[in-house]
Structure 1
Amino acid sequence: MSELDPVIHAQARLRIMAALSSLGPGDRMTFPKLQQLLDMTAGNLSVHLTKLEQAGYVEVVKSFRGRTPTTSAGLTNRGRVAFDDYTAQLRALLDPPKES
């Protein structure tokens, strides 16, 4: 069994990945909604999103809604695969195959 992905394994980043994985491919969640959902400070969420973005797992998009700046985040294809792999490895670790 390979090692669990250390980028995802940190509790805050795992929570971010789980929240974003609930979205459809290509969908994003606004920063305030993600912050409220995870009950994280803006600074803490920002630091962990940056780490996930640097790994290529999350795409952060800054745009304007009218004149109001808005930030949203979503999983990249690479991030979705990495999260699926992570959860499969975790399941295998928690429920190893039974020997006959």
Structure 2
Amino acid sequence: MSTPAGFDELIHPATRLSVVALLATTEWADFAFVRDSLSLSDSALSKQLGTLQEAGYLDLRKEGGGRKRRTRVALTERGRAAFEGHVAALRAIVEGAGAVGPSAGGPGAPEEAPAAPEAAR
């Protein structure tokens, strides 16, 4: 089976996919909101954001100063397009698996009827 067009290996890991999916629902999000929503540590989220930013999928902005300094995050157009393409690719994979159906011998496939026992002599 070939990988469908749009499948994005960079986005696919669960944590990055969760980050991008959350950001796809908003224009901008505070770092703390993303961290708390996904139950990530600061360092784990920073690492994922850095990877996504290097790929051009995120825009990071630091605002304020001192104790009021905060980081805001948004998907770029490139990031949003990559996410939408990845979701479409995942749907194609799922739909392709459904096209195989239960007759393929997987779970839900009909079982063969047991052979009739031989008559005792």
Q: TM-score, normalised by structure 2?
A: 0.73
Distance 1:94 1:54, change over 3 A: same
Q: Which residue does the alignment assign to 1:56?
A: 56
Contact residue 6 and residue 86 of structure 2 kept, 8 A: no
Residue 71 of structure 1: how far off its partner (Å): 0.2
RMSD of aligned residue pairs (Cα, Å): 2.1
1:5 and 1:56 map into 2 onto residues whose CA distance is 13
- For the pair shown, the structure with the greater C-alpha radius of gyration is 2
After the TM superposition, which residues 1-100 of structure 1 pair with which residues of structure 2 at under 5 Å, given as runs? 1-2=4-5, 4-23=7-26, 27-64=27-64, 68-96=68-96, 98=99
Unaligned runs of 5+ in 1: none
Contact residue 6 and residue 88 of structure 2 kept, 8 A: no
Aligned AA for 1:54?
A: E
Residue 2 of structure 1: how far off its partner (Å): 3.4
1:63 and 1:31 map into 2 onto residues whose CA distance is 11
1:67 and 1:51 map into 2 onto residues whose CA distance is 26
The structure whose residues are more often strand, as a share, is: 1
Larger CA deviation: 60-69 vs 73-82? 60-69
Q: Find runs of 4+ consecutive structure 1 residues off by over 6 angstroms.
A: none
Larger CA deviation: 36-45 vs 64-73? 64-73
Residue 68 of structure 1: how far off its partner (Å): 1.2
1:13 and 1:67 map into 2 onto residues whose CA distance is 28
Equivalent pairs: percent with the same residue? 32
Q: TM-score, normalised by structure 1?
A: 0.87
Q: Report how many residues are paired.
A: 96
